[in-house]
Amino acid sequence: MTSQIRIAGVVKESIVDGPGIRFVVFAQGCHHHCEGCHNPATHDLSGGHLVSIDTIIAEMKKNPLLDGITLSGGEPFLQPEGFSELAKCAQAAGFHVITYTGYTFETLLAKKDQRWLRLLRYTDLLVDGRFEEEQKSLLLKFRGSKNQRIIDVNQSQLKNKLILSKMN
Ligand code: SF4
């Protein structure tokens, strides 16, 4: 079990990274290299710093106003053990979990990597796909470009087909 993750940083309260008030954790490391990426400082796999999952959960529990946690990036799926453990602990503490990824939902499922599937299991909503500059829109809720989707992971797994969240 991994008890530490490599992160670029956190935002303790955000209202723009999902519904309600959310604690945001920015994974360090990304290899998608989307043109126009809003967060290039998160790409270096050895940048950022290590933090323990216990520290993050303890920090979240200090704030009674928090609705959930958002795992952003960087690419959380490059550290699937640590981020799935964080997501699991957050859910167990009553928090809603959103995970952002540059992979598509279909790609994540097709690889059949148990570590990726575990992170999906503890994710309530997945915002998927690379940021596409030519599909950029400022009108989208919680997403940067029109190709990205907000997927209801629980419903999709229950019904065995892709179910979009009503937030799209
Ligand atoms: S997936 Fe996200 S962090 Fe990675 S290059 Fe694309 S926009 Fe940037």
User: Is residue 164 included in any domain, yes or no?
Assistant: no
Convert the pLDDT of each residue in 62-88 to its tens digit: 999 999 999 999 999 999 999 999 999
Provide the number of structural domains found in the chain: 1
Q: Distance (Å, rounded) from C-alpha 6 to C-alpha 79?
A: 8
User: Is residue 19 included in any domain, yes or no?
Assistant: yes
98-112 average pLDDT score: 97
- What atom in ligand 1 is closest to the CA of residue 74? 3
pTM above 0.85, yes or no: yes
Residue of 30, 44, 77, 143 best suited for mutating to test ligand 1, as the one with most atoms within 8 Å of CB: 30
- Confidence band (pLDDT; 50, 70, 90) for 160? very high
The count of other CB atoms within 10 Å of the CB of residue 71 is 32
Q: Distance (Å, rounded) from C-alpha 161 to C-alpha 113?
A: 18
C-alpha 127: how far from its chain's center? 7
Range of the domain at 104: 4-159
User: Is residue 11 included in any domain, yes or no?
Assistant: yes
Neighbour-count burial of 97, counting CB atoms closer than 10 A to its CB (0-12 exposed, 13-18 middle, 19+ buried): buried
pLDDT at residue 45, rounded to an integer: 97
pLDDT at residue 63, rounded to an integer: 98
148 ligand 1 Cβ < 6 A: no
- Mean pLDDT, the chain, rounded, equals 96
User: Is residue 165 included in any domain, yes or no?
Assistant: no
User: Is residue 84 included in any domain, yes or no?
Assistant: yes
Give the CATH number for residue 87.
Answer: 3.20.20.70
- Confidence band (pLDDT; 50, 70, 90) for 2? low
User: Is residue 167 included in any domain, yes or no?
Assistant: no
User: Is residue 168 included in any domain, yes or no?
Assistant: no
Please provide residue 14's backbone torsions phi and psi, each rounded to the nearest 5 degrees: -135, 145
User: Is residue 121 included in any domain, yes or no?
Assistant: yes
What's the 99 CA to ligand 1 centre distance in angstroms? 13
